[in-house]
Structure 1
C-alpha cells in the first residue's frame, strides 16, 4: 500500500470513529462527541451492508406506469474503490418514480429519528450517466414521515447551477433551505424523478456537515477490494417428477441442465398414491382402526434416477407439502411419507437412496392463520410435526430433514405488536422461524424478491435469518428465489363480519373451518379490511356450468355459516361493510378491480351481499418477468454478502420448469463472481 493510500485510509477511519450514534432523552438519534458533533455525520456510502451508518435503508417508491430501480454497484464509485447507488427511473405520463434513503430503522416499533441539530448542511455526491439528468429533492422529518411524504426542497439544479454532469459533484443544501423541518427529528431524503423518459444517476456519500467546506473523504481502494470467490452450488424445487422417471431422454436432459446451472441439490416431488380426495381437494382422514400408509410410485425407476443423479454429484431430497399437514389432525400423512422414504432407503443400494426429506407446507394459507390465537396453535402443531419428522430421520437414517418457511415470520405484526408468527415449544416462545432454525438440518427461506438491494430486497429480508443461524449453529440456510408468474385470479367474497364474532361462530359451529386452505376444492382467501374479515374463494378461469354452480353454492354456504348480511334493498349494514372492503382493495397493491357481486340462494330465498376482486401476483416477488441476465446480476449482488455467513448453503430456485424457460429465453452467459 502506498503512503497516500495509507494516510487516506487512516483519515477515513478517524472520521468514521467520530461519527458515534447516541440516543437522547426524546429517543432521537444524534451524532455525538465529547464536546461537539463531528465535522461529518456520514449517513450512507453504500459500501457495505444493506443498512446505512445510522441504521436506515434505501428503497424505491413507484406507481405504474412509471417505474424505478436501484442497486449498489461496484463499477462506479468515488475514490479508489467501494460502491455507489445507481438509480434508473422511467417516468411516464402516469404514476410516480422516486428513491428514498431513511435516517432511522423504520422497522422498529419506536421511531428514533435523527438529531442533526449540530449541523449546517446536507451533503451528497451525484453524477449522471449522460449528464443533464433532472430530479427533485425532498426531505422529511417525523411529522412528514407520519404523512408518508416529504417537503419539496426543489430541483437539483437549485444547488448545482451547472446541472448534473458525468463527473462527480457535491450537492450542498443549507438547513435554511428546508425550514421549517425539525432538525432534531430528521427522517429521510428522497430523489423524485419527474422528467419524462429514462434517467440514470449515481449517488454516493450522503451525510450532514458542520462546515460546508469540510471535505468528504474518498473511499480507499484497500478497504473495499473483494477477493475472487468460488461459485456456490444451488438447490432447486421440481414439482413434476414423472417425466424424469418415465422418459430416459428427459431425465438425462434434466441432469445436464442441473450441471450447467450448478444445481447440486434437487427437492423432488415424491410420487405417491393419492392422499387427497379428488372431489374436495382435502387430505383424507386417518382410516378408523388402522395405520395410514403411503406407497411410493415407480420405485425401480426412482432408484435408477437417484443413481444417475448421484453419478453427476447431485443430491436428491423427497419433496411434498400441503398447508393442512401443519395441523395435528393430519400429521399422520407427512409422518407416513417420512416413514415411506426411510423404508425405501433401507431397501435400496447406497447410490439409489434419497439424501433427505423436504416439506413445503405453508401453514399461513390456512383460514385459521388470520386469528392470532389460532395461529399460535397452528404454529405449535407445525413445529411439533417437524420435530417428530427430524427425530425419525435422525434416529432411523443418515438423511437430512428440511422445510420451507417465508422470510417474514419474525417481523412485527401491527395487530399485536409482536412477531407475526410466535410459537411456544418446550416452554420457550420465539418466532417460529427461529425455532425451525434451532432444531432442523436445513431451512429454505422463501426470500422471494427480484432485487438484491433496498429495504424490501433479498438482502434486507435474508440477512436477519442468516445472522440468527450463525449464532445458533444449527440449520443450514437456503435462500429461495421465485421464477413463476401467475395471471390475476378472480376471488368472490360474501360480505364478512368482525374478527372476534367470526371466531366465536366458527369455534361453536365449524371448528374444522380454521384448518382449511381449500373449500370444496376452491382455494380459500381471507381479506382483512381492518374492521372485518371476509372469507372467499378463488374462481379459476374456464369453469364448466357445474363447477360455476358449485362455486356459487359454496359461497352461499359460507355466508349462511357466518350469518352474513342478505342482499336486500336498504340493507345499510351490508353496504357499509362492503364499501369498507372495496376501499381496502382499492388501496392494496395485491388487489384490483373491486366490484359488487351478490350471491343468490339456490332455493330462491333472499341471497347474500358480496363483492369480487382480482388477486394479483406482485411483480416484485418473482424474476419470471425479468431476463436471466437481470436475475443473475441480482443474485450475484446478494450472494456477495450472503456468502459471508457460515450457515449459508446457497440460493434455492423455485422451480425447475419456469426457471428453465427463463434460462432458455436468452443465450446470455452467466455473470460469474469476481
Structure 2
C-alpha cells in the first residue's frame, strides 16, 4: 500500500512539473518573440511568390482583376501599399478573398525620407494605423505582415552625409521592428543587393548584415535580367541570411528602366523571365535562406509581353 501511494505521489509531481514546463514554454513563446514569417503565413505555400501592388485604389475599383492575375501567376503574397483614402471595408473584403485563395496580404509603405529621424512621426502614424486596423477586424481580414520599402540611398542626404543617414536609418528600423514585435506581426523590407558594401558607422559590420539581423525577412532587389547575374548579386545576402537563420526573397524587375536594359525583363517578356527564374531557383535553393521570388510590380508585370 505504501509503495502504491509513493508511486501515485511521484506520478502527481511529474505531471505538475510537466504542466509547469508547458505553461512556461507557452508563455515564453507568447511574450518572447514575434511569430515567424513562415508561421504567420502557415496557410501559404512556401517558397513565396510575391508582387507589389502600389496603386491600392485597385482593390476597390477592380479587386477581382487583381486576384485573378495573382492566381494565374501563382502569386501567394501581395505587398499592398497603405492608402488611407481607401476605406476599411475594401481592405477587409480584399484580404478576406485573398486568403480564401491562399494569398497572404502584407501591408506596405515607405519612402526614402523614412531613413531620417525627422520622419519618425510618419512612421509612427503608419504603424498606428496598422495596429488600429488589426485590432478591429476579423482574423481572416488581418494583414499577414508588414513590408517596407524605405531606400534612403535615393535621398539627397545620402550623398552629403552618408554616415549620418545610415545611423538614422538604423534607428528608425529598430523602432519599426520593436513596434512590430509588440503587435506580433512579422516585418520584412526591400534592400538593394549592394548594401553589403557599406559599413555601420564606427564598425566593420556591413549594413546589410545588420538589416538582415533586425528584420524577420528580406527582399533583395537583384534587378538583373539573366539568371547568372541575378544569383551572383544576391548570393552574398543568401549566405549571410542562412548564417542568421533568416529568409531571403529575390526580387526582379519588369518595369522599363532608365538604368539600362540589363536591369529589367521589360524587353524580354514573361516567358523568358520565367525560364530565368527557374535557373535562379536551381542555384539559390542550395542556400537554406532562399524563399522564392518577388516580381516588381503588378501593373508592369500584367502588361509584360509574352
Which residue does 2:214 correspond to in 1? 439
Partner of 2:126: helix, strand, or coil? helix
CA distance in 1, matches of 2:110, 2:274: 28
Deviation at 1:331, TM superposition (A): 1.4
Structure 2 residue runs of 5 or longer lacking an equivalent are 1-44
Cα deviation digits, residues 472-505 of structure 1 (max 9, x gap): 11x321110000014xxxxxxxxxxxxxxxxxxx
**Kept in 2: contact 1:235–1:263 (CA 8 A):** yes
Is 2:261 the partner of 1:484? no
CA distance in 2, matches of 1:342, 1:429: 36
Misfit runs of 4+, over 4 Å: none
Partner of 2:265: helix, strand, or coil? coil
Cα deviation digits, residues 525-544 of structure 1 (max 9, x gap): xxxxxxxxxxxxxxxxxxxx
CA distance in 2, matches of 1:385, 1:231: 30
Is 2:236 the partner of 1:459? no
Which residue does 2:21 correspond to in 1? none
Is 2:67 the partner of 1:252? no
Which residue does 2:188 correspond to in 1? 402
Deviation at 1:231, TM superposition (A): 8.6
CA distance in 1, matches of 2:274, 2:56: 26
CA distance in 1, matches of 2:128, 2:248: 25
**Kept in 1: contact 2:134–2:143 (CA 8 A):** yes
TM (normalized to structure 2)?
Answer: 0.82
TM (normalized to structure 1)?
Answer: 0.38
Which residue does 1:265 correspond to in 2? 77
Which residue does 1:305 correspond to in 2? 94
**Kept in 2: contact 1:342–1:393 (CA 8 A):** no
Is 2:146 the partner of 1:357? yes
Deviation at 1:410, TM superposition (A): 1.3
Deviation at 1:396, TM superposition (A): 2.2
Deviation at 1:423, TM superposition (A): 1.6
Partner of 1:410: helix, strand, or coil? helix
**Which one has a bigger Cα radius of gyration?**
1
Is 2:275 the partner of 1:633? yes
Cα deviation digits, residues 394-417 of structure 1 (max 9, x gap): 1223x2111111001113xxxxxx
CA distance in 1, matches of 2:217, 2:244: 12
**Kept in 2: contact 1:269–1:319 (CA 8 A):** yes
The within-5 A match list for 1:58-137 is: none
Residue 237 of structure 1: which of 52, 60, 63 is its match?
A: 52
CA distance in 1, matches of 2:143, 2:212: 22
Query: Which deviates more from structure 2 when the two are superposed, residues 439-448 or residues 388-397?
Result: 388-397
Which residue does 2:199 correspond to in 1? 422
Cα deviation digits, residues 283-336 of structure 1 (max 9, x gap): xxxxxxxxxxxxxx3011111111111111111111111101110011110122
Partner of 1:641: helix, strand, or coil? helix
Higher relative contact order (CA 8 A, sep 6+): 2
Partner of 1:434: helix, strand, or coil? helix
Residue 165 of structure 2: which of 378, 397, 401 is its match?
A: 378
**Kept in 2: contact 1:338–1:357 (CA 8 A):** no
Indicate the structure with greater strand content: 1
Deviation at 1:429, TM superposition (A): 4.2
Question: What RMSD in Å do the two structures reach over aligned CA positions?
Answer: 1.7
**Kept in 1: contact 2:58–2:66 (CA 8 A):** no
Indicate the structure with greater helix content: 2
Which residue does 2:241 correspond to in 1? 469
The within-5 A match list for 1:476-625 is: 476-486=247-257, 616-625=258-267
Seen in structure 2, the aligned counterparts of structure 1 residues 400 and 470 have a Cα distance that, compared at 3 Å, is same
**Kept in 2: contact 1:233–1:262 (CA 8 A):** no
Deviation at 1:339, TM superposition (A): 1.8
Partner of 2:250: helix, strand, or coil? strand
Deviation at 1:428, TM superposition (A): 5.0
**Kept in 2: contact 1:326–1:381 (CA 8 A):** yes
Deviation at 1:340, TM superposition (A): 1.0
Partner of 1:623: helix, strand, or coil? coil
Deviation at 1:232, TM superposition (A): 4.1
CA distance in 2, matches of 1:437, 1:298: 34
